[in-house]
Structure 1
Amino acid sequence: MLTEVQILIARIRAEWERLRYDEGGYSTEAVVVTALLAVLAIAVIAVIAIKVTQKANGINL
């Protein structure tokens, strides 16, 4: 009985250590935030491109 308890405790400790140091890649939250920032950057670039094009078209030669 004591050996079974010791084995169980050892397995729990090993699992605890694995979970404690396992990063498991990117979290869903990080992926969503990165995607939103990318979309925002694309939108800003599009607005700037439109403004520059309008300003260039307004130049009289």
Structure 2
Amino acid sequence: MRTTVTYARSLARTAARRLAARLADGYARAKAEPDAGYTTETIVITALLVLCGIAALGVLTTKVLDKVNGLNF
């Protein structure tokens, strides 16, 4: 039983070290490229603008259909 606990602790330490190394590497790369997040920011802003456009189109469609349905010939 003791060897299983020791093995589990060893695995946990190894996983923690790998995670810390990977985070440090990602942080170093992000500092090396100052505009690395620009693309993500642009995509998010574009998606929000598209969402606003779709919402405006829905409102306008509803208003136009209400006007058309209110016409009497």
Return the TM-score normalized by structure 1: 0.56
More helix by share: 2
User: Unpaired runs of 5+ in structure 1?
Assistant: 1-18
Pairwise CA RMSD of aligned residues?
A: 2.3
Once residues 48 and 59 of structure 2 are traced to their aligned partners in structure 1, the CA distance between those partners, rounded to angstroms, is 17
Q: Runs of at least 4 residues of structure 1 off by over 4 A?
A: none
Q: Deviations over 1:24-52 (max 9, x none)?
A: 6x611100000000000011111101000
- Residue of structure 2 in register with 1:51 after alignment: 63
User: Which TM-score applies when normalising by structure 2?
Assistant: 0.48
Counterparts of 2:60 and 2:48, CA distance in 1: 18
Q: Which has the higher contact order (CA 8 A, sep 6+)?
A: 2
